A = this chain, B = another copy of it.
């Protein structure tokens, strides 16, 4: 049984209920198109609220598993698809994570992953909301295959992709919320988008693993008027030699469908056996902050 990823690039409204309904509609569409492993963008229930630091957003967090996974579990069981859902997790009063739940095709939550690398930059104030994940890499066996989950900012870290691939992920998915800020777009926009694709394509090659990003699309304004993000879409699937299987546009909702061919992973890793030669005896300094001591 092959994994057939369905990558749902979507827009969000201000209304969580409406976003959930819309996501379920898109999951049904993806399943009808042949996908059996369907991934939604980062924090798909809400606007990207990290544009500001506002404590009222903590009201939208929930337990994971919790109400949303219960609803999505019914959809997963009905359609017999795996669903990867990125959620704002309330773990305890005052302790929140940016978490992805993997729901297996029988509706059972196979596991959760808590985003390990948390950004914090003007317009992306995530360190205010999310404690860095304490579960390590997230790799889960599902009915259709072994999937690894990382989230957005994790995608810039080769260490995260490597650890996830080391646990046997044939596909790594990155639910994402990344876009252009209007004041930067003209000067840096092209380079930013290309760098974002390039670094993840590199993970595919280095690890001999399928890599997918699932981004938001559309323009969102901060509630307090302090900023705007134009999410650049461009969701993609790369194969284990870094070949582009699918790439979405920058402006519209789209569903990308692909296939994870484990024979191809085997073939490519035999031709270029990078896994054979890692120098684990000298990698110790990767555990340092920097090489100046």
Residues in chain B near residue A205, CB distance under 8 A? 156, 195, 198-199, 202
Q: Are A290 and B157 in contact (CB under 8 A)?
A: no
Q: Is A91 on the interface with B (CB-CB < 8 A)?
A: no
Q: Decide yes or no: A116 and B286 within 8 Å by CB, A168-B292, A202-B198, A206-B157 being known contacts.
A: no
Q: Are A283 and B206 in contact (CB under 8 A)?
A: no
Q: Are A121 and B273 in contact (CB under 8 A)?
A: yes
Q: Are A283 and B286 in contact (CB under 8 A)?
A: yes
Q: Are A279 and B132 in contact (CB under 8 A)?
A: yes
A267-287: CB near B (< 8 Å → 1, else 0) gives 000011111011110111111
Residues in chain B near residue A285, CB distance under 8 A? 136-137, 163, 166
Segment 127-151 of A: residues with Cβ below 8 Å from B: 132, 136-137, 139
Q: Count A-side interface residues using an 8 Å CB cutoff.
A: 58
Q: Are A158 and B202 in contact (CB under 8 A)?
A: yes
Segment 99-136 of A: residues with Cβ below 8 Å from B: 116-119, 121, 132, 136
Q: Which residues of A contact B (CB under 8 A)?
A: 116-119, 121, 132, 136-137, 139, 153, 156-163, 166-168, 188, 191-192, 194-195, 198-206, 241-243, 271-275, 277-280, 282-292
30 A-B residue pairs with Cβ-Cβ distance under 8 Å, sorted by A, are A118-B277, A132-B279, A136-B285, A139-B291, A156-B205, A156-B274, A157-B277, A158-B158, A158-B162, A159-B162, A159-B278, A159-B279, A159-B286, A163-B282, A163-B285, A166-B290, A167-B291, A168-B291, A191-B241, A191-B242, A191-B243, A195-B241, A198-B205, A199-B205, A201-B201, A202-B206, A275-B290, A278-B289, A280-B286, A287-B287
